[in-house]
Amino acid sequence: MQSTVQEILRTRVSLRQYAERPIKNEDKDAIIEAAMRAPTAGNMMMYSMIIVSDLALKQRLSETCDHQPFIAKAPLVIVFLADLQRWFDYYQDSGVKDYCKDQGRDFNGPDEADLLLACCDALIAAQNTVISAEALGIGSCYIGDIMENYETHQQLFNLPPYVFPISLLCYGYYPEGERPKPRERFDSQFIVSENTYHGLTEKDREVMFSERAKGFKPQNTLGAKNMGQMIYARKTGADFSLEMARSVQVAMKHWRGKSLADNEA
C-alpha cells in the first residue's frame, strides 16, 4: 500500500520494539539511497554513516548509549557522523595551505561553524532515512546518547579527529498488531511565529505546559514538586545529560585542538 508523505509524517512514532525479522536488502538499499539524496550544504556531504551489523558491537552500544537494551535488538542500526575529515585531508592533498600562503589568505582548520554545518548534513540525511523507512513499513528511533562516552565510541569505530557521532538510529519493521499512537506535541502557536521571534510570558508558558503537567503525579518523581522540576531531574540535569556534556567537551577539545594545530603547522 502506498502512503502519502503527509500520512507518513502524521502517523510516524519513535519505535522501540521491532518485528524479529531482518531488514530486506532492497529496503536497506532504499534507506541508504534516501540518505544519499538528502540536501547537503554546498553538496559537500560532510557526514558519514556506519552500519552496525556486528551483534557484539550493537550490544556494546546498548550499554554505552545510556543502557538502552532495544539497540541490541534492532535489526538495523546506523550511526550518523558529522565528518570534516575527508575534506580537510583532501585540502591537504591539494596543497591548499601553500595556496593560501601564496594568496595571502589564512588557512582555517574546521571550526565550530563547520561542525554545526556538518551536523546539519548528518541529521538531514538521518531524517531522510526515517521517512524512507516509514514508507517501507519500517519504524525507527533516534538515540542521542551516542554523543556520550566519546572516547569509547572513538575507539570502537576508529574515528579520526574531525569526525563526531551526532546520532544513532535503530530501525525495524513494525510488529504485528496495533501501531503506537502518535505522541502529543505542544500547540503550534507556541512554536511558530511570523517575521520575529515569539517570546513567551509566564502565563503563555503555563498554558503551553498545562496539558503535559496534567500527567504529573507526585509519586516516584525524584522529590520533584511539579512537572518542570521532574523533567529537569529526568532529562536536562540527569546523569546521562551530565555525561553527554562531559563527552561533547572532550570531543570539542579534540576537534578544536587538532584544528588550531593544523592552522599553525
Ligand X SMILES: Cc1cc2nc3c(=O)[nH]c(=O)nc-3n(C[C@H](O)[C@H](O)[C@H](O)COP(=O)(O)O)c2cc1C
The one among 75, 144, 160, 228 contacting ligand X by CB under 6 A: 144
The reply on whether position 183 binds ligand X by CB under 6 A is yes
CA distances to 65, 100, 237, 244, 246 from 241, in Å: 11, 41, 6, 5, 9
Q: Which helix (H) or strand (E) holds 51?
A: strand 47-51
DSSP assigned state of 223: T
Question: From the CB of 133, what's the least distance to ligand X, in Å?
Answer: 13
Q: Enumerate residues 242-261 that contact ligand X by CB under 6 A.
A: none
The one among 46, 79, 117, 143 contacting ligand X by CB under 6 A: 143
The residue (of 12 and 258) whose beta carbon lies closer to ligand X is: 12
Quote the CA–CA distance of 261 and 51 in Å, as a whole number.
32
The residue (of 35 and 262) whose beta carbon lies closer to ligand X is: 35
Quote the cell numbers at residue 27.
529496503
Question: From the CB of 117, what's the least distance to ligand X, in Å?
Answer: 17
Question: From the CB of 34, what's the least distance to ligand X, in Å?
Answer: 17
Question: From the CB of 228, what's the least distance to ligand X, in Å?
Answer: 18
The interface region with ligand X, picked from 35-43, 100-108, 129-137, 142-150 by CB under 6 A, is 142-150
Burial 39-66 (b: 16+ CB within 10 A, else e): ebeeeebbbbbbebeeeeebebbbebbb
Size, binding site for ligand X by CB under 6 A = 11
Q: Enumerate residues 150-169 that contact ligand X by CB under 6 A.
A: 167
For CA atoms 67, 73, 74, 75, the dihedral sign is: positive
Question: From the CB of 243, what's the least distance to ligand X, in Å?
Answer: 12
Q: Nearest residue to ligand X, using CB?
A: 144
Quote the cell numbers at residue 253.
577539545
Which chain residues interact with ligand X by CB under 6 A?
Answer: 13-14, 16, 68, 141-145, 167, 183
